Amino acid sequence: MGTTEKLRQRVAELISNATGGEVAVSAVLAGDSMVALGVDSLGLLRLVDAIELEYGVEVEFQAPGRRLDTLDEIVAVVAAGGRV
């Protein structure tokens, strides 16, 4: 498994954990939007905290002109070291 795939897997796990396991890792890996998966605002806040703690990067889900809503979009920001 390559670095990007490992990062995708770990972020998918963080998303699942942020929802208290209501969203399965396999569902996140399928690539649906966070909204389609049912991730609510509390889950997003938990996810932001988890990403910041684990990777030391700041993630904004609703930055001006851009919205992070898929696993791959989130992974790209984490891989880039935070805000892009």
Domains (range + CATH), the chain: 3-79 (1.10.1200)
**Structure-block tokens of residue 48:** 């932001």
Q: What is the pLDDT along the chain (84 residues), one digit of tens a residue?
A: 788 899 999 999 999 999 999 999 999 999 889 989 999 999 999 999 999 999 999 888 776 666 788 999 999 989 988 654
pTM value? 0.89
3-state SS record for 55-67: HCCCCCCCCCCCC
Strand ranges, E, within the chain:
none
Query: What is the pLDDT at residue 3?
Result: 86
